[in-house]
């Protein structure tokens, strides 16, 4: 059982986490949800299309202009409070690596801290424990926040992913983060080249076998683009193919831009796997 905020999710229940970037320079939407009203409209649409989690980020993942903790908080804290007011049952996640920002958004109503940079600030897990919220434990290959990998190498990339993510999850549990609210994430593209991310996907079942719920953040990433030689705006099909494989292998939470399309893929895979009944089953029965 995965428990986040007011929501509980069964083991085989796929969960969509919709991305809402409060940044003017995000790689995919290029600032479309930087202002409040477009961002709130995005939340409303995502919830209507089947997202259970809204992931709010105040700093783009890649290199760019410096964003201080104060500016990151300015972009996220008030917005978290407004989403909490308008959507009391939605799970609110905040993508941050900074403990001080994590504490501020938890005060505003966040349910989950999405630590995409692999525990670079150990205090973030302590914040999650103090507020009783969830935590995403990610493998980033030891990379510093907002840096790109350069000639990174692993003897066994999945072995390293397991060592880091399970270690972070166990530390979070020892600190007092609720076990049912801890997730692990292989960190596609973070501290990895394209071949590493493909191997992490191929071996995702090894993460699932640890017993920790697995979150994947695949949406329109560079490993998809390089695999198919497609620019950012032409990666949806590759993303959905990777989503289907990840779902078959047992990942549970999917951080995405395209909510409606992802919902259909996840429902189809769940029905093939026998975890979900068809919405309609009239064929051959009339």
Question: What positions carry a catalytic annotation?
Answer: 221, 255
- φ/ψ of 187, rounded to 5, equals 70, 55
Helices 99-108 & 123-131, crossing angle to 10 degrees? 20
1 neighbors 180 (Cβ within 8 angstroms): yes
- φ/ψ of 180, rounded to 5, equals -75, 0
Helices (H) and strands (E) in the chain, counts: 10, 10
DSSP assignment, residue 215? E
Task: Give how far the C-alpha of residue 132 lies from the chain's centroid of Cα atoms, to the nearest Å.
Answer: 19
- Residue 233, C-beta contacts closer than 8 angstroms, at least 6 positions apart: none
117 C-beta neighbours (distance < 10 Å), count? 24
Alpha helices in the chain (DSSP H): 36-48, 69-86, 99-108, 123-131, 157-175, 194-202, 204-208, 222-228, 236-249, 259-273
CA gap 167, 165 in Å, rounded = 5
196 neighbors 226 (Cβ within 8 angstroms): no
């Amino acid at each position: 059982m995965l428990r986040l905020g007011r929501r509980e999710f069964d083991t085989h229940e796929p969960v969509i986490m919709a991305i809402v970037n409060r940044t003017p320079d995000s790689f995919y939407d290029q600032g479309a949800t930087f202002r409040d009203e477009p961002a709130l409209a995005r939340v409303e649409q995502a919830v209507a299309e089947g997202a259970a989690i809204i992931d709010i980020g105040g700093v783009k993942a890649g290199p760019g202009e410096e964003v201080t903790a104060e500016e990151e908080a300015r972009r996220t804290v008030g917005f978290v409070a407004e989403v909490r007011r308008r959507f009391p049952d939605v799970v609110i996640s905040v993508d941050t690596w900074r403990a001080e920002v994590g504490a501020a958004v938890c005060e505003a109503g966040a349910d989950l801290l999405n630590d995409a940079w692999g525990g670079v600030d150990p205090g973030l897990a302590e914040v999650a424990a103090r507020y009783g919220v969830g935590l995403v434990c990610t493998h980033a290959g030891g990379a510093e926040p907002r840096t790109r990998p350069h000639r990174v190498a692993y003897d066994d990339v999945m072995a390293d992913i397991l060592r880091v993510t399970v270690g972070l999850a166990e530390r979070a549990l020892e600190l007092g983060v609720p076990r049912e609210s801890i997730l692990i994430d292989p960190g596609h593209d973070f501290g990895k080249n394209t071949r590493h991310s493909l191997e992490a996907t191929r071996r995702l079942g090894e993460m699932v076998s640890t017993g920790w719920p697995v979150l994947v953040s695949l949406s329109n990433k560079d490993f998809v683009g390089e695999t198919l030689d497609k620019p950012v705006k032409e990666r949806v099909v590759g993303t959905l193919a990777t989503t289907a494989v990840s779902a078959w292998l047992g990942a549970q939470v999917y951080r995405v831009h395209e909510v409606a399309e992802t919902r259909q893929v996840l429902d189809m895979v769940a029905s093939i796997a026998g975890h979900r009944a068809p919405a309609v089953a009239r064929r051959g029965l009339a």
